[in-house]
Structure 1
Amino acid sequence: MIDRLMDIERFIQYLLKNRKKSLVYFLIVWVLSHKLYMRFQARLRRRFPFYSSSYLEKKTKEYLAKRRDEVLQFKQKHQGDIDQQDIDTVLKAENIRELISKIEKNELSCEKIVLVYAQRIADFSFGMNHCADIDLQNALNEAKEKDAKKKEVMESNQGKLPPLYGIPIAIKDHITAKNFLCTMGLQSRLADQVDGKTFQQDFQKVWEGDVRGADYKRRLSYEEISNQKVLSHIPQCKYGFEDSEMVRVLREMGAIVICMTNTPIFCGHYITNNTVFGFSQNPYQKYRTTGGSSGGSGGIVATRSVPLAIGSDLLGSIRMPSGWCGLYGFNPTSRRVSKSGAQGFELRYDCDVAKSIMPIFGPMGKCVDDLVDCMKGMFGNFNKDKQCVPMKFNEEAFNINRKLRFGIVKKDIRIGYGSYINNLVEENIALLTKAGHQVVEFDLSEEFWKMEFISRKLFMGSQDKAMMLNELRGERSILGIELGIFGQELPSTIKKAGQMLFKLIGEDIIADAIESVQEVDSEEYERLVREREILKKKFFSYWQSLEIDALILPISYAWAPRKHEEWFLSYRFHGCLTNTLELPCGTIPMRLAEAKDEQFTFDFKKNNRILKKLIQMNLQGIQGMPIALQVATLPYEDEKCLNAMKVLEQIHNFHPCSC
């Protein structure tokens, strides 16, 4: 007993003598023990079986090899089926309306259109990692069926074809579509479906509102699915998923789903990269990203591999890829389109359950007319989703025949804007004024930016700390996800200390980013929601005081980050602010960047120096890339937003093609 007391005394003396080392050791032990505790808690909350990482990697390699062989075989089989005249006719069409008109006049067939775009996918987008699951042969078969039924369809529709009849489109890889894998960039979800071990029954029950009835721990066998012993009420398909409500409506419009498009893991980043389909390359500079999280959709339209793609948006996930790839993208008011049936962050929910920030689905194309035709077919037709507002497209609001009054955001106090934004702002003021429109400055104050911070805090702070780890289900993930898991498992005291440290050195935006991932209790959640609602009212009052029709504002501070530039995540998002306010928004590419657009000057004596330096480094080298701004209108004024997009499209007349 005396010996033990003496050992303890010597240990205490050692700690007192080596205080710095002791503190470091204590912190290491504390962090590791907290990490082990969090892992134990995560294990208790597991809902689905885990795989070994080697098994997931093996299944992924097998699937990718099979996918590559199918694409190459299709390319070789149909190499001479189309001539250069067909290719030029399809690719040089101004819009989808022109293609539909040629189909109606028998100048083009659906089969030839699909063959042209399928060859583009094989030649460009496939190698640049824009595509997820692909089924070119099935798309071609659908096109042949549509050619056979064309006369019958026209007779039943007053001599006209539906707006997307025979047009191949791409869908983001979390918006479920029949006969396609839906992975969200996760190896585990790919393995589930490739093996025929789908959780479709539980996913279907959640989709239909029966959350308690779903047996999440049960794994369905391939035999149960194929024999319809369990899923007798669900029509069978290749991978066990039926069309989400969005895809169902698109198919009713005549569209042919040709492939799914790449997305970051959990659709949770503006750089599209994952361990299944890889890094999605920007067609203008291959070492830069197409954007995210709808990066694959942006890339595949930019390479003219499809004329239209569907993306989703939470913090700017349609607008960033659209802007960075030189496309026109549209975010409708959230409740005017359905999210029902699409996969969410957690496999047991569809993405329509997110409430802290409303997710949005929308189209991305090469001109505004294509977006307008798409929305005309969508609005008011989501009959199976009763949460959607049944508002049809308002032709009168879209065809408004008067000059518009635009607000425009000129400055940002805390970070500042690069020269490409400042130059575009001045150019737009001059062009709009010359065209007879009015332009006034819109002061996007820090009070309004507080709404963006609150939304991020509500979204991140209310997440289950074990969510990412449990949804990976054994996968060895990319660095950004691993760092996210590590951050979630850190003790809150250390995160608060880091937040205080960054504030002390003047990096208040990074400090806010750390604060936004701190856990939010129910009392704070309610307080933040109330504060956000008060700020919303102030924002709309300010908007009305300016009497503006639409607001022009930047898409992002940086532009098309390189693969290693993941640290830009530590700043705020214009997309999060507009989605918090539920504003319909559209992206307008305006021109290619020049040398004068690469500048970003700032004062080193002011705050946020680290972030500003990173943005300055990012903007170096953007010359030759398309640059863009976005335009927004008030909630449910989607038609006015599309009209404003049309105005801006006409004054810039910029429709780039990357290849």
Structure 2
Amino acid sequence: MAGVDSQAWKTRVAEKRRQRDDLIPKAWRLPSSAVQDLKQPLETSRNNLIELDIVRRSGLLTARELHITEAYSVSQLLQALRSEELTSLEVTVAYCKRAAIAQQLTSCLTEIFFQEAQERARHLDNTLRERGQPVGPLHGLPISIKDSFQVRGVEATLGFVDYLDHGPSQENSCLVDVLLAQGAVLFCKTNIPQTLMTADSDNNVFGRTLNPWNTSLTAGGSSGGEGALVAFRGSPLGVGTDVAGSIRIPSLCCGLYGLKPTASRVPYGKQAPLGDPGLHTVTASAGPLSHDLNALEIFMQAVLDARPALLDATALDIPWRHASTIPPTTKQPLRLGLLAEDPLFPLHPTVRNTLAEAADRLRRAGHEIVPLTSQEGLVAPSYDAAFQMFGLDRTAMNTVARGGEPFVGSIVASRGVMREVQWDRTVVPDTRTMRKKKEEEEEEGGNGGGGGTEDRLGRLAVLHVKRAEMQEAWRRVWVGRRLDAVVGPGAQSTAVEHDQYGAAPYTGLWNFLDYPACVLPFGRATKAHLSGTFEKKAGSTGPAYNLDNLQGAPLSIQISTTRMRDEECLAIAKVIDECLNGRGQNGSVKVAKI
């Protein structure tokens, strides 16, 4: 769509939105009476869509459908589906209805295929009745997926104006094939940021996704549509991707559990094209988000038990290790490293106080807390190197330019954030000084950026060496400190106002090292959590601290283990979750029949 003028792309976007919205049945449209108490505009007004209980007030869901979407954990849903206590069709309809309402309030959906989902649910119900056996471990379970996953016959625009002419996908992403083979029902795709490289899920095609806990706060990104949808209980289990925090940031913004697995354990092949496939920088992961921790393990086990490497050459052929085979790293007491605050990325008082409370509870439960220094944590150096890697690939930026669309606010703001930081060049050099080509070659390099091919590969090689050094440094920390896991912040802040999130160093660290990491919700911000001051010194960066708007924001902590120890990450997360939140194995209360 090169050379498209402003009015032309706006017209095309309006048509795309109309096509999507027409797929919401008229009977599922919110009546004006259900939204009359909302403060407008939603984007800049504080509205707690969850506590307002708009779904119930709308009258669009039956009592049974409300019960299905609110009372069951994923494990309980799967058991009810296998036993035919619930049908896949009624569960799918219930979640489709709730997703339709979520879209009307938060703009979380990009693609809707409710009708196809109901047809598949009928097929699964018939198969179970005829054969007496479920199709797979995810039989009949509705699952939502991020827009970047391809579904045959459904578009994957990634929120780019330039991709609006690409037409429907001709094949499924590998993970989509795995989920279908394991019995899942896919029913919608969810919103992402422009370029997928900010924590605000806003783009010119689908607009901005709002946080259902407070519509004036970000839902996170880049899997922010998943975060908003799952938080609204419009999906029992969502699937996102994560290259710098894109599963965990929406999880912490929206009060969910989210897992970034070790790269390539969950198949990532055949995603909608975004970057230069020959430029290997930080490898993205696909993973789950849900209201209950056990759902993350159910997802991982179901996917890996299918041996996805048989479908995806990039996936590791390593099975999921079941609880009985995990080494005794989940012994009690646990020895937990406490990740230090990095002075270049200071923490909001809400985050600092939440971490202190979590550490205190864990100590009182008998676990050993081992404070780590910021020098050991390497938060800033890892983020510096990672974003220098990302800067070598200008595919996404060039795609925005080809579409003739402007950059959204979070893209513009993030550039300023990175310029605020006074990086330590004795640790990670500025590889941009290595340029051997003229600036014009950046444009001639096609999908590349930051100079010609020789220049880019030379810079990338330097950064790969730095990553290897940091991975070795962290190995020494892990072994020398005898750690079972590391507990730390997921971000400098809770969810903040739109376009203010900024950097993601505390999630990006674990992508750079390729360690699995899990975010656990830990209550919501009270006045006690908000107490304290936020000081941003010269050379550091962080989002503004607007405590008046943060009361009630979801709180969280992050847990990480070493590479390929995803099973231990979730097992330890369960121990910590029980200590902090007092939840049982399935993460919810007993379900009464209706």
TM range (shorter): 0.7 to 0.9
Tell me the equivalent position of 1:402: 331
Distance 2:509 2:499 in 1: 26
TM-score norm. by structure 2 comes to 0.82
Distance 2:269 2:242 in 1: 15
Distance 2:489 2:377 in 1: 18
Letter in 1 for 2:576: L
Q: CA deviation at 1:516?
A: 7.8
2:92 is matched with which residue: 114, 138, 142?
114
Q: CA deviation at 1:590?
A: 0.6
Asked if 1 retains the 8 angstrom alpha-carbon contact of 2:151 and 2:169, the reply is no
1:230-241 to 2 correspondences below 5 Å: 239-241=168-170
1:14-413 to 2 correspondences below 5 Å: 51-73=4-26, 75=28, 83-93=62-72, 95-152=73-130, 154-155=132-133, 162-193=136-167, 239-346=168-275, 355-379=280-304, 381-382=307-308, 383-395=310-322, 396-398=324-326, 400=328, 402-403=331-332, 404-413=334-343
Question: Per the alignment, in what secondary structure is the counterpart of residue 472 of structure 2?
Answer: helix
Q: For residues 300 and 470 of structure 1, do their structure 2 counterparts lie closer, same or farther at Cα, with a shift above 3 Å needed? A: closer
Asked if 2 retains the 8 angstrom alpha-carbon contact of 1:591 and 1:654, the reply is no
Letter in 2 for 1:368: L
Asked if 1 retains the 8 angstrom alpha-carbon contact of 2:124 and 2:135, the reply is no
Structure 1 residues without counterparts, runs of 5 or longer: 1-47, 194-238, 488-494
Question: Per the alignment, in what secondary structure is the counterpart of residue 142 of structure 1?
Answer: helix
Distance 1:359 1:74 in 2: 39
Q: CA deviation at 1:524?
A: 3.6
Q: How many residues align?
A: 530
Letter in 1 for 2:422: D
CA shift digits 1:225-282 (9 cap, x unpaired): xxxxxxxxxxxxxx24311001111111111111000001121210110111111000
Distance 1:540 1:446 in 2: 10
Asked if 1 retains the 8 angstrom alpha-carbon contact of 2:212 and 2:231, the reply is yes
> More helix per residue: 1 or 2?
1
Tell me the equivalent position of 2:48: none
Tell me the equivalent position of 2:510: 578
Between 1:641-650 and 1:411-420, the stretch displaced more is: 411-420
Q: CA deviation at 1:639?
A: 0.2
Tell me the equivalent position of 1:227: none
2:562 is matched with which residue: 592, 610, 634?
634
TM-score norm. by structure 1 comes to 0.74
Question: Per the alignment, in what secondary structure is the counterpart of residue 336 of structure 1?
Answer: coil
Question: Per the alignment, in what secondary structure is the counterpart of residue 549 of structure 2?
Answer: coil
Q: For residues 354 and 174 of structure 1, do their structure 2 counterparts lie closer, same or farther at Cα, with a shift above 3 Å needed? A: farther
CA shift digits 1:465-512 (9 cap, x unpaired): x75234542332244487499x8xxxxxxx9xx96xx6xxxx525999
Distance 1:557 1:458 in 2: 22
Q: CA deviation at 1:536?
A: 1.6
1:404-423 to 2 correspondences below 5 Å: 404-423=334-353
CA shift digits 1:423-451 (9 cap, x unpaired): 22222222222333222112232772322
Tell me the equivalent position of 1:587: 519
Q: Which has the larger radius of gyration?
A: 1
Question: Per the alignment, in what secondary structure is the counterpart of residue 379 of structure 1?
Answer: helix
Tell me the equivalent position of 2:580: 652
Asked if 2 retains the 8 angstrom alpha-carbon contact of 1:557 and 1:615, the reply is no
Q: CA deviation at 1:71?
A: 0.3
Structure 1 residue 554 and structure 2 residue 489: aligned?
A: yes
Structure 2 residues without counterparts, runs of 5 or longer: 31-57, 434-449, 589-594
Distance 1:99 1:532 in 2: 42
Asked if 1 retains the 8 angstrom alpha-carbon contact of 2:28 and 2:100, the reply is yes
Q: For residues 632 and 137 of structure 1, do their structure 2 counterparts lie closer, same or farther at Cα, with a shift above 3 Å needed? A: same
Structure 1 residue 607 and structure 2 residue 538: aligned?
A: yes
Q: CA deviation at 1:533?
A: 1.1
CA shift digits 1:115-134 (9 cap, x unpaired): 11111112223431111111
Identity over aligned residues, as a percent?
24
Letter in 1 for 2:579: I
Question: Per the alignment, in what secondary structure is the counterpart of residue 416 of structure 1?
Answer: coil
